[in-house]
Amino acid sequence: MNEAAFLRFAGWTAYFNAAVFLFSLVALMIFFSIGGIWGRINDSLSVIWMISYLPLAVALYLTTRSVNAPVSLVSTIVGIIAMLAFVVMQTLLVLGQVRFEQTFSAVLASTAIVGLFVLVQGLLARSVGLLSPGLIWVMVIYGLASVIGAVGFQIGGETHPLAMVGLLLTAIAGLVWVIWFGRLLLIESVAVALASSA
């Protein structure tokens, strides 16, 4: 698979990521309301959601490596490590091998690191010229919101104001950036241009 074809694949993955995130968010809200099995459903969906982030991480790297290869590579490696750590911890949680309290802080940190990865990639993409300023701003908001939400959650749980604001902005900006970026990747001329610019 050449780079342009991979970028188009990542575009479809972005749509899948957005759909899984929506289902996961619904499950999470139901869990906060009535509890029960919805927590396990949300945790399971979060594993799939984060796995679907991996092609997007590579696509972002292919988009930005021509701008600043070392920073792009390091941020991508750190982001992918955080994604894989999240997947492992949440999978262990779903399988009942660990308790929520044991992985709570590490999962929050992983989520915040993934958000920072998106933020860094967005800032690097400013120099590429193929990503609009609007998309880059949404990526930056997503990154900041993921950190704010993680800090609030750590301080006072899901009812803490920072957690609620962070979750809301993460949900909105997260959906907007992956759908917007995915749409760009599915435009063949854009995928080819991004691949050739790398």
How much is the pLDDT for 198? Answer: 56
Tokens coding 128: 């590429």
How much is the pLDDT for 84? Answer: 98
Q: Which position has the token pair 């993460």?
A: 170
How much is the pLDDT for 189? Answer: 67
> 21-27: which pairs have CB atoms within 8 A and are 24 or more residues apart?
21/49, 21/171, 21/174, 21/175, 21/178, 22/175, 24/49, 25/171
- The alpha carbon of residue 143 and the mean position of all alpha carbons in its chain are separated, in whole angstroms, by 9
Phi/psi for 75 (5° steps) reads -65, -35
Instruction: Render each residue's pLDDT in the chain as its tens digit; 198 residues.
Output: 688 889 999 999 999 999 999 999 899 889 878 878 888 999 999 999 999 999 999 999 998 888 888 999 999 999 999 999 999 999 999 999 999 888 988 999 999 999 999 999 999 988 777 788 999 999 999 999 999 999 998 888 778 889 889 989 999 999 999 999 999 999 876 776 776 665
Predicted TM-score (pTM) of this structure: 0.90
How much is the pLDDT for 38? Answer: 87
How much is the pLDDT for 177? Answer: 96
